[in-house]
Structure 1
Amino acid sequence: MPLLRDTALATAFDHGAGTYDRLIAFHPGYHAQLRRSVRRLGLRDAGAVRVLDLGCGTGASTAALAAALPGARIIGVDASAGMLRRARAKSWPPGVRFVHAAAEGLEYAGVRGPFDAVFAAYLFRNLADPDPVLRTVRRLLVPGGRFVAHDYALGGRHADRLIWDVVCRGVVLPLGTATGNRELYRHLWRSVLEFDTAPAFGGRLERAGFEGVRVLPLPGWQTGVTHTFAARRPAAVLGGAR
């Protein structure tokens, strides 16, 4: 069975939006790990910073950004209208807004840079082709702008794959089935197995033109399963940005 992509995946997330926040509550450290990755952006709350939260879902990553950068202007973008309805129903600072758009169609939805930072949680393994989106992210950033991706990406050891399989078979798939969203959570399981390893995604960032790429593990049971990928757009040089 192929992975869900594009419209099929957005529809599956629409269907699962009603129970999504309750399910991630069973995930030990889910919100703490997002906050850790937000801190790895290395931004100070200067009040005027502009941040794109790409693949914001029901707003868990947006909340992490808003807590760390209370004065920032944050645009949360997601392809699932159902997930965005959940996000918009929450209480937000005045600088936060949401846009319904696929990561591949930001310009058509009126999402334009420059941004001081782009944050993307659990997004890139869901894309049919990550490379054009990475190039778009790079273009949207100011010279020297920060990019962080927070995602399930296995470290490459046999033990990492084994841990992910055990967690999915024992927790993720049973919970997904109980909520009537088995197809979505089966996709979650398989999308991680078929995605880049963490070192391979780091290499993908470098090929997309980012510099200072760091592949950083997350603590707890997710070590070797979930990583922060931190990078930046090259700073402007004589003659323009590279």
Structure 2
Amino acid sequence: MFSEIAPRYDLLNRLLSFGADQRWRARAVALALEGRPRRVLDLATGTGDLALLLKAKAPEAEVVGADFAPPMLEIARRKAQQRGLGVRFLEADALALPFPEGHFDAVTIAFGFRNFADYPRALAELHRVLAPGGRLVLLEFPPPPKGVFGLVYRVYFQRVLPFVGGLISGSFGAYRYLPESVEAFPSPEALKALMEKAGFAVRYELLTFGVAAIHLGVKP
């Protein structure tokens, strides 16, 4: 599914979020780089937006982008070459990462964690590849917020977004999957509890009235 929508993925991210996704990614990058990491993994990197932003903001750091959709990675590599940014992109499974224990000082995931088949197992792998004191930054869509804004957002998310996304990408199934996966995703508090159970010290912040959320987990 992700391979199928790769050619229109970046355009639809900008369009369907009204450009807010770029602000959300900038915040995630700022949190990831606070500790001046030497090695950073951007997992579920997709077309590489977050990995490339990490490298642009921290050129001295080694940045690796990993994903399981080869067409997405090909776009990421082209973007890195065009921008002159030395990011290594590779195909990998989030539940069995090909890296040694404690290899990274920071791991970022933007809008990919909810697609993992096993959240506890993924968190255990992320904990394993992080060095002590390392940071895990998860940027995700929590279930729509409550109240009037949440009601309006839910109508947009469940009706307008799948139609526009499907029309432009040619894959209506992919953009029906998006709101379905968000509705089924743990609440911010529930995700915090999952991360704490995996061994992280966790705090989170809500963005744009709760449309998105960033969880910061630190490995003791």
TM-score normalised over the length of structure 2: 0.90
Indicate which of 98, 110, 124 corresponds to 2:89.
Answer: 98
Matched, 1:39 2:30: yes
Indicate which of 185, 188, 205 corresponds to 1:198.
Answer: 188
Confirm or deny: 8 A CA contact 1:145 1:233 kept in the other structure.
Answer: yes
The offset of 1:207, in angstroms, is: 0.6
Name the stretch that deviates more: 171-180 or 156-165.
156-165
SS of aligned partner of 1:229: strand
Structure 2 unmatched ranges of 5 or more: none
The offset of 1:215, in angstroms, is: 1.3
Which residue number corresponds to residue 3 of structure 2?
Answer: 14
Which residue number corresponds to residue 180 of structure 1?
Answer: 170
State the one-letter code of the partner of 1:203. A
Which residue number corresponds to residue 65 of structure 1?
Answer: 54
How many Å separate the matches in 1 of 2:185 and 2:160?
21
Distance 1:187 1:35, change over 3 A: same
State the one-letter code of the partner of 1:53. D
After superposition, where does 1:77-226 map in structure 2 within 5 Å? Answer: 77-92=66-81, 93=84, 95-107=86-98, 111-112=99-100, 113-154=102-143, 157=146, 159=148, 161-178=150-167, 179-211=169-201, 213-219=202-208, 223-226=209-212
Confirm or deny: 8 A CA contact 1:56 1:121 kept in the other structure.
Answer: yes
How many Å separate the matches in 2 of 1:163 and 1:82?
34
SS of aligned partner of 1:57: coil
RMSD: 1.9
The offset of 1:169, in angstroms, is: 3.6
Distance 1:146 1:160, change over 3 A: farther
How many Å separate the matches in 2 of 1:64 and 1:164?
28
How many Å separate the matches in 2 of 1:206 and 1:80?
29
How many Å separate the matches in 2 of 1:188 and 1:210?
27
Confirm or deny: 8 A CA contact 2:204 2:215 kept in the other structure.
Answer: yes
Confirm or deny: 8 A CA contact 1:152 1:192 kept in the other structure.
Answer: yes
After superposition, what is the alpha-carbon deviation per residue over 1:63-107, rounded to whole angstroms, capped at 9, x for unaligned? 221232121101100011111111111135554101111211312
Structure 1 unmatched ranges of 5 or more: 1-11, 235-242
More helix by share: 2
TM-score normalised over the length of structure 1: 0.82
| Overall identity of the aligned pairs, in % | 35
Aligned length: 214
How many Å separate the matches in 2 of 1:170 and 1:155?
14
State the one-letter code of the partner of 2:218. R
Matched, 1:228 2:214: yes
